[in-house]
Amino acid sequence: MTGYQIHMSQLPPLTSLKASLSEDGHLLHIELDHGRVNEMGSEQLTDWEALAGWLESADVRAVITFSRRRSRRGSPIFIAGANVTERVGWSDEKVRTHVRWQRSVLRRLRSAPVFHIAVVDGLALGWGAEMMIAVDYRIAGPGAAFALPETGIGILPGAGGTSELWAMIGVPQAMRLGMTGEKIDADEALRIGLVQERAESLEAGLDRAATMAAKVVRRSPTAIGAFKRAMLAGIGQTPDVRAELEAQAYELCLESGDAAVGRANFKAITSGEEVQWNSRRLLSS
């Protein structure tokens, strides 16, 4: 994390996530280091919800989420599932409300107008595997392991693992993970498309993520957000609807003034120079 400082005055109040912001405010690192095994419970959901809302107006353009956490035996951990312990004594109605909240938080995080990269070098079970649905790009280290164990304890993946995972990896592979609870390693996750790259170590994965993030932070925040939202909104739509979404996103870049900035500074930009973009304008969700 060399070169990055924590600016709590700019970040929303967080109680369980370690967040550090680059000095220019364009890149956010989120380190998972909480609880016994980075389990996701109410405290963490509150933090993620706050971050997702903050990202809509912040000048952040890229996010890198990772974990250096290890178990007592030395095994690396990304997110080892939901915090089931906190649910002891809960009524069915309270669990239902909580899981709907989980789902809504991940969906909001998914639509945040930034390029979100997860570097996973550890256990990503249940909620940890579902977290892959909420980010834009996934890099797996040698210690990465993914599984959906929920059906073995009488429930099912309820934060996107049932409704969305199949769109990433295909119905047969989603069926396999959800019904068998089989744990897969980094190579198998890459083969089926659950992750996009395989790194030789956590540090190598973070370096690769930083390289991509550096490219993103030089670009128009309005264009980045509009591109992402138009693409996601077009999934499952007709060609006509997708074309209209693209048109609206393009026209937002015109209205924001960033298209004019790009035209006026075309040579400088293509030469690798940085330019000053306007404040982000958001495409309606």
Domain closes at, from 184, 216, 248: 216
Classify residue 106: in a domain, yes or no.
yes
What pLDDT sits at residue 2? 33
Same domain, residue pair 153 and 200: yes
Same domain, residue pair 196 and 159: yes
Query: Tens-digit pLDDT profile for the chain (285 aa)?
Result: 333 333 445 899 999 999 999 988 999 999 999 988 999 999 999 999 999 999 999 999 999 999 999 988 899 999 999 898 899 999 999 999 999 999 999 999 999 999 999 999 999 999 999 999 999 999 999 999 999 999 999 999 999 999 999 999 999 999 999 999 999 999 999 999 999 999 999 999 999 999 999 999 999 999 999 999 999 999 999 999 999 999 999 999 999 999 999 999 999 999 988 899 999 999 876
Q: For the chain, where are the alpha helices, taking DSSP H only?
A: 42-55, 92-110, 127-130, 165-169, 171-180, 186-192, 202-216, 221-234, 239-256, 258-264, 266-270
Distance CA 34, CA 285 (A): 32
Give the total number of structural domains in the chain: 2
What pLDDT sits at residue 285? 61
Same domain, residue pair 34 and 141: yes
- What CATH number does residue 72 fall under? 3.90.226.10
Same domain, residue pair 212 and 96: yes
Structural domain including 258 reads: 221-270
Classify residue 22: in a domain, yes or no.
yes
Classify residue 9: in a domain, yes or no.
no
Classify residue 167: in a domain, yes or no.
yes
Same domain, residue pair 98 and 208: yes
| Residues near 92 by beta carbon (within 8 Å), at least 6 away in sequence | none
Q: Full-prediction pTM beyond 0.85?
A: yes
Classify residue 63: in a domain, yes or no.
yes
Same domain, residue pair 77 and 204: yes
Same domain, residue pair 71 and 87: yes
Single-letter residue type at 180: T
What pLDDT sits at residue 193? 97
Classify residue 284: in a domain, yes or no.
no
Classify residue 282: in a domain, yes or no.
no
Neighbours of 158 (CB within 10 A): 20
Classify residue 276: in a domain, yes or no.
no
**Eight-state DSSP code of residue 273:** -
Same domain, residue pair 141 and 244: no
Q: How far apart are the first and last CA of the chain?
A: 33
